[in-house]
Chains A and B, each alone.
Chain A
Amino acid sequence: MFAIARSELIQMFRNRLVLVTSFIMPVAVSAFFIYRHEAFATIGSLGYIAAIVMFTVGAFGLYTTAVTTLASRRQNLFLKRLRSTAADDRSILGGLLLPVTVLSVVQITAILTVFGAVSGKPGSIALLAPAAVAIVAMMVGLALATAGLTNSPEHAQVTTLPVSLGVIAVASWVGISGTEELTLLKRLLPGGAATEMVVDAWNGSASVILLAPTLAWVVVAVALAARLFRWEPRR
């Protein structure tokens, strides 16, 4: 797995387009939110900014890059090549997704550290961390499922839009309007409960139960991926 991850990291840094979309773009968006945090805090709260940072990195950095990478490795038969070796499927997928996942976790941590330094410490880091992990796991699962429906890296520009825009929309809606109305719907939407948990944890303290819907989405995404994921291009 680590041999594949290492080669994946090399490829990521050689391919500037991937580096820009997966690394620079989410940082730029997050920097803007932190720079104007007082304005955004009046719309929602400081916790809302933390949630938007997590979902921007998760949707545009992690999710989109993972789908594009998997589609590209399948299209040029690199997946088939890896499966011609003794490596099993889990370690192949693990190796391919490990670098982008670690990079996203590092990004989220770094951006939120800067945000905390600028706007004041979050209420509960112990609750923010599991929320962030759940979001990352959900986005990886959704990426595996979406990759099954994506024929090429170009096609990924279209196929990733519903999920990436969808979770950002949910995070904004829940982050700005709260969950006092339409509570159940907001919590069951992908990213809804996670947003509520991040907002609450940043602003003070949150309920651990809010992890459940996000973890349920991880299970749904992995089940979908098991049905949809393909290793070789369609002929």
Chain B
Amino acid sequence: MSTPVIEVEKLNLKYGDFHAVKDLSFEVRPGELYALLGTNGAGKTSALETIEGHREPTSGTVRVFGHSPRDRKAVRPRMGIMLQESGFSPDLTVGESVRLIGQLTGRTDDVGRVLDVVGLTRKAGTLVSQLSGGEKRRLDFATAVYGTPELIFLDEPTTGLDIQSRDALWESVDRLRENGSTIVLTTHYLEEAQQRADRIGLMHQGVFRRQGTVGDLTRALPSHIRFAFPDGPALPLPSSADGNTVVIETFELQKDLHLLLGWAQDNGVELRDLSAGPTSLDDVFRSIEA
């Protein structure tokens, strides 16, 4: 197996008495899209900023490309960082900002090409102070992908973006992945992680509560079958009620759904508003907070 791009071992981060990250260990392999998810205040931004090299760990080690992430000269030319908050000077234009930050990464690229990727070509001469929130996110993404780095950190990349910009951003990420880039993502939109992440680390109160593929995480919880409360004979499966909706929890979705549909057919019962599906990440999230 190839050497990991990121290695985190027993990472601890404390602010005074507050223990933000506890004994976090994980790896990110080349070409992976790894999503670091968590409830508010779970410590994911603290963890991410330590891996990016913005913070020094209280204990434990972090290796990026085999180096300390604090060794900027060694690691930064190979990685792009999209910060959670903007951090651009309001008195510089979009083009000037990309040129400055791009140049400082140590990579080479064409400012025009990068602006084209994020759809800001026509804003090249506009001052950052005049950009909308979504445009600032795209500018941030532009500086992260300048020079097509091997590793890209995306800290809540789509917050504040409209649906078209969001789709465009994910399309660019897909293209970067085709070129072999490794992506580390945090997001509040669990659907994005569910659709795109190869693996997910789920943090709660500073520790990993679950780690694995989307399938690993969702299979740990039962699937759900829902339908409007029907008239007729007793149901063939144990169920619970959620208002007027019947909810059946099952680890054998296909078998139980077949049983239920057969029962409905035989008894001439109409199952209105029928839906059935695997657990979503949302449910996994709710279960860790419970």
Query: Known contacts A86-B73, A86-B77, A87-B72: does B92 contact A10 (CB below 8 Å)?
Result: yes
* Cβ contact within 8 Å between A78 and B105: no
Q: Would you call A76 and B104 a contact (CB within 8 A)?
A: no
Does B199 belong to the interface (CB within 8 Å)? no
What's the Cα separation between A3 and B96 when bound, in Å? 10
Q: How large is the interface on A (under 10, 10 to 19, 20 to 34, 35 or more residues)?
A: 20 to 34
Q: Is the CB of A81 within 8 A of B88?
A: yes
Q: CA of A78 to CA of B83 in the docked complex: distance in angstroms?
A: 11
Question: Cβ of A88 and Cβ of B92 under 8 Å apart?
Answer: no
B91 within 8 A of A: yes
The residue from A15, A77, A81, A85 contacting B91, defined by CB atoms under 8 A apart: A15
CB closest chain-B residue, reference A72: B89
Indicate whether B86 reaches chain A with its CB closer than 8 angstroms.
yes
B100 engages A7 (CB within 8 Å): yes
B52's closest neighbor in chain A, by CB? Answer: A84
Q: Of residues 1 to 52 in A, which have CB atoms within 8 Å of B's CB atoms?
A: 3-4, 7, 10-11, 14-15
Q: How far is the CA of A159 from the CA of B54 in the complex (A)?
A: 27
| B259 to A: closest C-beta gap in Å | 54
Residues from chain B with a CB closer than 8 A to the CB of A14 are: 91, 127
Known: A86-B72, A86-B76, A87-B104. A7 touches B89 (CB 8 A): yes
> Using a Cβ–Cβ cut-off of 8 Å, how many residues does chain B contribute to the interface with A?
25
In the complex, chain A residues whose CB is within 8 Å of the CB of B100: 3-4, 7
Contact (Cβ within 8 A) B91 A82: no
Does A73 interact with chain B (Cβ within 8 Å)?
yes
Complex partner residue of A82 from B73, B86, B104, CB under 8 angstroms: B104
Beyond A3-B103, A3-B104, A86-B105, whether A78 also contacts B88 by CB under 8 A is yes
Closest to A95 in B: B104
List residues of chain B with CB within 8 A of the CB of A81.
Answer: 83, 87-88, 101, 143
Question: Besides A76-B87, A82-B104, A87-B104, 15 other CB < 8 A contacts?
Answer: A3-B100, A10-B91, A10-B96, A11-B89, A77-B83, A77-B85, A77-B87, A80-B83, A81-B87, A84-B76, A84-B83, A85-B104, A86-B72, A86-B105, A88-B73
